[in-house]
């Protein structure tokens, strides 16, 4: 195996089903996946187990998050997952993120090797308090050895920040902040995708027009690499706070999730039927 894919499940089996659909069709290199269930409802956990049974390279582990604040619980689960990595690369994935390009793994790993990057992935676009120059843990690939050279910094958020009522700080110490600090301190290189938040750039969106999500691209190219729905802890409730509509917002969210999954599936099928990946041509 060359890549270990890591993700945390908390009542998101429908998203993970899409993720596995993508990896099974668009990944060229050998991979395995470990899912940490963070105390999902029985119905979702049973569905997740049913989904995973279709794959012989996917494992589920469980963790009791206890009374941890959600960000802390998520970060601790990521740390647990990373401790099980035994491959040259590992990919941290939010459950509501999906790769949409044939042989995405070749593009990412070749870029990491040529640029000598420790990690490569998705920046935060819709959160103004997070740095956009460093990969957010939506979909980020790590070089395992280089990560160990950093001292294997924790992915768990700063507890003081996570439990604070005032999170509008200059440096938001959420998931991955220690990795960023160590990369800068030890002069490790990192790479971030170009990104579009479709709610603010709907005219530029070619893939998910009308859906509030993130689209990510290799720098300076126009072929989509991956997309992040942005579920958060409430199926993206925050994305509709400023929307005026006669349709209940809960229905809007449900519709957007369903449509995002359907469109992603269409892109994955189209990409998987290609004889070779579409060249990553620079934007003109």
pLDDT for the residue numbered 200: 78
Predicted pLDDT of residue 127: 62
The residue ranges of every structural domain in the chain are: 3-272
* pLDDT in single tens digits along all 284 residues of the chain: 999 999 999 999 999 999 999 999 999 999 999 999 999 999 999 999 999 999 999 999 999 877 777 888 889 999 999 999 999 999 999 999 999 999 999 999 999 999 999 999 998 876 655 667 788 888 999 999 999 999 999 998 776 655 656 555 444 677 788 899 999 999 999 999 999 888 877 656 779 988 999 999 999 998 999 999 988 767 677 777 777 777 787 888 889 999 999 999 999 999 999 999 999 888 76
DSSP string, the chain: --EEEEEEESS-HHHHHHHHHHHHHH--S-EEEEEEE-S--HHHHHHHHHHHTT-TTEEEEE---TT--HHHHHHHHHHHHHTT--SSEEEEE-TTEEE-STTHHHHHHHHHHHHTEEEEEEPP-S-TTS-TTS-EEEEEEEEHHHHHHTT----SPPHHHHT-S----SS---TTHHHHHHHHHHT-EEEE-EEEETTT-TTT-SSSTTS--EEEESTTB-SEEEEE---TTTTTGGGGTT---SS-HHHHHHHHHHHHHHHHHHHHHHHHTSSSPPP-PBP-
In this structure, CATH architecture of domain 3-272 = Alpha-Beta Complex (3.90)
């Amino acid at each position: 195996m060359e890549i270990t894919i890591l993700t945390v499940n908390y009542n998101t089996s429908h998203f993970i089903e899409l993720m596995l659909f993508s990896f099974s069709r668009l990944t060229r290199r050998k991979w395995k996946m470990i899912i940490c269930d963070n105390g999902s409802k029985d119905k979702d956990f049973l569905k997740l187990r049913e989904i995973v049974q279709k794959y012989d390279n996917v494992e589920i582990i469980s963790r009791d998050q206890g009374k941890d604040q959600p960000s802390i619980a998520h970060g601790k689960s990521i740390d647990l997952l990373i401790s099980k990595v035994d491959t040259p690369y590992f990919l941290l994935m939010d459950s509501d993120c999906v790769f949409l390009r044939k042989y995405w793994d070749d593009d990412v790993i070749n870029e990491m090797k040529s640029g000598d990057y420790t990690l490569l992935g998705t920046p935060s676009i819709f959160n103004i308090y997070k740095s956009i120059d460093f990969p957010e843990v939506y979909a980020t690939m790590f070089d395992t050895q280089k990560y160990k050279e950093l001292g294997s910094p924790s992915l768990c958020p700063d507890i003081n920040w996570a439990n604070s009522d005032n999170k509008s700080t200059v440096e938001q110490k959420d998931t991955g902040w220690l990795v960023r600090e160590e990369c800068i301190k030890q002069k490790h290189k990192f790479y971030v995708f170009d990104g579009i938040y479709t709610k603010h750039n709907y005219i530029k969106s070619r893939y998910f027009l009308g859906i509030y999500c993130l689209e990510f691209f290799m720098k300076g190219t126009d072929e989509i690499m991956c997309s992040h729905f942005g579920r958060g802890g409430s199926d993206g409730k925050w994305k509709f706070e400023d929307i005026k509509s006669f349709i209940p917002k809960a229905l809007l969210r449900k519709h957007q999730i369903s449509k995002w999954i359907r469109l992603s599936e269409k892109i994955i099928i189209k990409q998987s039927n290609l004889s070779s990946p579409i060249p990553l041509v620079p934007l003109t």
